[in-house]
């Protein structure tokens, strides 16, 4: 009897980010070439899975998309099958299970961030064979040291802060640059350090306006008549609240943060003589051509996810830890956030360079260990 053709579904959940198309290309091509599989793409994330909005992905469909930003399948962060707002918040997961069965899917590859992995885990508990593929510019998924999209976002943010430097110097201003990062400050930390920010504010450390103002005044005193502040959108003042841009209960994460840069600017004007301006980078960090690093990482993740799905290994997410590729149970990823730890080497380097983290004496592990002498 002929062997039944392997059939794998793939979707991209949550927000878009650079490298998704590279991952789609890798998943699809490797499934077709290595496993002679049929690949079905669900449009607009889990919405396509609920509404059975699906189309076949052929080899030619994913050719020429390696460098393309966004996602050719579309994405959605408002289509949680367990709380499906187009149908009044109904749990339509049973319908999803039926769709998977009717389509004869052997497995589903879910490309996304924390919300997507949480949904993927719940679907796997229903018996759907799911393999997760980590993408998010925030780099905040547990179980992997890197997510694709992060490197590109850091490059975009760093380039923006580089340009802010020249206008800040020219006009002797305090320039605040707000990056993405609701719950984890990886982008602000990496971009701020790479582009020479004087203050870096993270969600992991509540800042004080007095400390930020102290840095600005001290730089003025010694003749450095400008200050660059990199702030993650999830940063907040000590004993304060997060700045919420809007609430949308249709989203997986209902609170959309943003606007901390403008709030900080208003606060600082009471403490410094320099004029203060804010630039919000926003969705610029998600768009455009992915870096070579992100293309390669997405490709490596994609081929590994395809192999796992094709060989019946599921309920897991691919990742990279300490330079080696690995797999992590979706149960260990769902509902968790990978924040910047206080022993992160880049935090210590920032302090060693005199960069303020918005806290007078942050509880950060420093690079205080003496360097061993060179043998004579």
Q: Spelled out in words, what is the top-level CATH class assigned to the domain 152-287+340-352?
A: alpha beta
In contact, 242 and 261? CB cutoff 8 Å: no
Active-site residues, by number, are 138
The H helix count followed by the E strand count for the chain is 11, 13
Quick one: pLDDT at residue 1? 37
Q: How far apart are CA 132 and CA 145, in angstroms?
A: 15
Q: What architecture (CATH level 2) is domain 7-148+290-333?
A: 3-Layer(aba) Sandwich (3.40)
Query: Distance (Å, rounded) from C-alpha 245 to C-alpha 35?
Result: 46
Domains 7-148+290-333 and 152-287+340-352 agree in fold: yes
Q: How far is 203 from 188, CA to CA, in rounded Å?
A: 10
- Helix (H) / strand (E) containing 4: none
The length of the chain is 376
**pTM for the predicted model, two decimal places:** 0.91
Q: What's the pLDDT score for residue 375?
A: 57
Q: What is the structure's pLDDT at 247?
A: 62
Ramachandran category for residue 149: left, alpha or beta (phi over 0 → left; psi -120 to 50 → alpha): left
DSSP conformation class of 137: T
Predicted pLDDT at 254 = 55
Pairing type for strands 7-12 and 276-280 reads: unpaired
Find tokens 């079905």 and name the residue.
40
- Consecutive 10-residue averages of pLDDT for the chain (376 residues): 78 92 98 96 95 96 94 89 90 94 96 95 96 96 96 96 88 90 94 96 94 91 89 89 66 66 90 88 89 97 97 95 95 95 93 93 70 55
- Domains of the chain, by residue range, sit at 7-148+290-333, 152-287+340-352
pLDDT in the model for residue 2: 43
Q: Which residues contact 18 (CB under 8 A, 6 or more apart)?
A: 69, 137, 148, 149, 152, 153, 286, 287, 288, 289, 290, 291, 294
């Amino acid at each position: 009897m002929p062997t039944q053709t392997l059939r794998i579904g793939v979707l991209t959940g949550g927000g878009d980010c650079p490298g998704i198309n590279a991952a789609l290309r890798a998943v699809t091509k490797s499934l077709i070439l290595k496993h002679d599989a049929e690949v079905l793409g669900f449009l607009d994330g889990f919405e396509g899975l609920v509404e059975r909005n699906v189309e076949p992905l052929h080899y030619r469909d994913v050719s020429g998309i390696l460098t393309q930003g966004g996602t050719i399948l579309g994405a959605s962060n408002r289509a949680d099958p367990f709380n499906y707002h187009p149908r009044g918040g109904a749990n339509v997961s049973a319908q999803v299970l039926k769709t998977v069965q009717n389509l004869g899917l052997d497995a589903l590859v879910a490309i996304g961030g924390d919300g997507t992995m949480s949904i993927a885990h719940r679907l796997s508990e229903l018996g759907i064979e799911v393999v997760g593929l980590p993408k998010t510019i925030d780099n905040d998924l547990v179980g992997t040291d890197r997510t694709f999209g992060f490197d590109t976002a850091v490059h975009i943010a760093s380039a923006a802060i580089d340009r802010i430097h020249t206008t800040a110097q020219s006009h002797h201003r305090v320039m605040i640059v707000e990056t993405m990062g609701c719950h984890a400050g990886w982008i602000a930390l990496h971009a701020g350090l790479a582009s020479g920010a004087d203050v870096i504010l993270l969600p992991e450390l509540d800042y004080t306006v007095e400390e930020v103002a102290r840095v600005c005044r001290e730089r003025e005193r010694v003749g450095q008549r400008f200050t660059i502040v990199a702030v993650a959108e999830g940063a907040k003042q000590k004993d304060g609240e997060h700045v919420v841009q809007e609430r949308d209960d249709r989203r997986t994460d209902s609170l959309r943060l943003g606007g901390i840069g403008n709030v900080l600017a208003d606060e600082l004007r009471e403490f410094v003589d320099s004029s203060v301006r804010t630039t919000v980078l926003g969705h610029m960090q998600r768009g455009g051509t992915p870096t070579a690093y992100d293309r390669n990482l997405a490709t490596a993740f994609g081929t590994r996810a395809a192999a796992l799905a094709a060989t019946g290994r599921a309920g897991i997410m691919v990742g990279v830890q300490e330079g080696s590729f690995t797999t992590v149970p979706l149960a260990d990823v769902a509902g968790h956030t990978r924040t910047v730890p206080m022993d992160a080497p880049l935090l210590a380097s920032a302090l060693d360079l005199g960069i303020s983290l918005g806290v007078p004496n942050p509880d950060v592990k420093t690079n205080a260990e003496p360097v061993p002498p060179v043998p004579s």
